[in-house]
Amino acid sequence: MRLWGDYAVGMVKDCNWLQHWENVVDPYHLLMLHQWISGDQFDGALMPGKATIGWEKTPLGVRYNLIKDLPNGNRLVRHAECIMPNMFIIPSIREPGTKPKRRERGTELSWALPIGNEHVRGMSIVAWPLENGEPKPDWKPGTDTIADIRPGSYLERSYEERQKKPDDLEAQEGQRPIAIHALENLAHSDTGIVILRRLLREQLRRVEEGLDPINVIRNPSANQRIPTGAWNTILSPAEAAALPYSEDL
């Protein structure tokens, strides 16, 4: 299904698909774009407090590791994952951070679908909880945007508004229809993007050599449920004190 309807997150974007996909492993844009530049465009545990950020390769691709001690004393451990070649899982962006929980996984599996070189469409399959056998009516997918706190996700915004409070759409399309990587000055904060591009290049080489890229499964017995690496964990102050300051939670 098209998850986001008329909102900008899941619409067709007028830029190369990679600019959309790279967003997933760029947790620094939560701070730089969604907080410092445009004001708090999310709410809940993603916004307050200082985060410790890292990245790692996973069996499927790459994910970020974000650990944050929340003002309420709880600790957030969060991962979003890019799955080769163009899929991604983002755990709930509206996690309040109030109740301890372990590995609450993302509810959407999404694709950055290239339409051509200069256009991309977001597409998701949503695991929608049932209530009495029917899709729960008051439930929202974890990556659905809330328009009142995130007006930047609306499609119809004036040029001035988009300039003053850019959102993902402006940040991604603003890099040109196809970003010129040779003009970039990548820094530590871009580590996820670097890992992602290297992984992608590695797969292109494998295909050139006649080998299977990552995540191609030809053996039917290996075609089983595949664990993914994107979730939110909330630790109580006692749990946070007892457990190591670790991203593997």
CA distance 89 to 8: 18
Window of 125-133, 146-154, 162-170, 232-240 that interacts with Fe ion by CB under 5 A:
162-170
Which CB sits closer to Fe ion, 35 or 72? 35
User: In this structure, what token pair is assigned to residue 106?
Assistant: 């993302």
CA distance 144 to 7: 9
Which CB sits closer to Fe ion, 81 or 168? 168
Size of the site for Fe ion (CB under 5 A): 1
- Closest residue to Fe ion, based on beta-carbon distance: 168
Question: Rounded to the nearest 5 degrees, what angle is found at the Cα of 142, between the Cα atoms of 71 and 46?
Answer: 25
Window of 14-22, 80-88, 145-153, 161-169 that interacts with Fe ion by CB under 5 A:
161-169
Which CB sits closer to Fe ion, 168 or 190? 168
User: In this structure, what token pair is assigned to residue 151?
Assistant: 């007006």
Its sign, for the CA torsion 128, 129, 134, 139, is negative
Which CB sits closer to Fe ion, 34 or 75? 34
Q: How far is the CB of 23 from Fe ion (least distance, A)?
A: 6
Does 170 bind Fe ion (CB under 5 A)? Our answer is no
Q: How far is the CB of 71 from Fe ion (least distance, A)?
A: 22
Are residues 9 and 153 in contact, defined by beta-carbon separation less than 8 angstroms?
yes
Residues 6+ apart with CB under 8 A from 131: 137
Does 144 bind Fe ion (CB under 5 A)? Our answer is no
Which CB sits closer to Fe ion, 144 or 168? 168
Window of 9-17, 79-87, 167-175, 194-202 that interacts with Fe ion by CB under 5 A:
167-175
CB atoms within 10 A of CB 214: 15
Which CB sits closer to Fe ion, 74 or 92? 92
Parallel, antiparallel, or unpaired for β 101-105 and 231-235?
antiparallel
Q: How far is the CB of 93 from Fe ion (least distance, A)?
A: 9
CA distance 199 to 205: 10
Does 168 bind Fe ion (CB under 5 A)? Our answer is yes
Q: How far is the CB of 11 from Fe ion (least distance, A)?
A: 14
For the purposes of burial, counting CB atoms within 10 Å of the CB of 221, is it exposed (0-12), middle (13-18) or buried (19 or more)?
A: exposed
DSSP letter, residue 128: P
Window of 82-90, 163-171, 188-196, 204-212 that interacts with Fe ion by CB under 5 A:
163-171
Q: Give the footprint of Fe ion on this chain (CB under 5 A).
A: 168
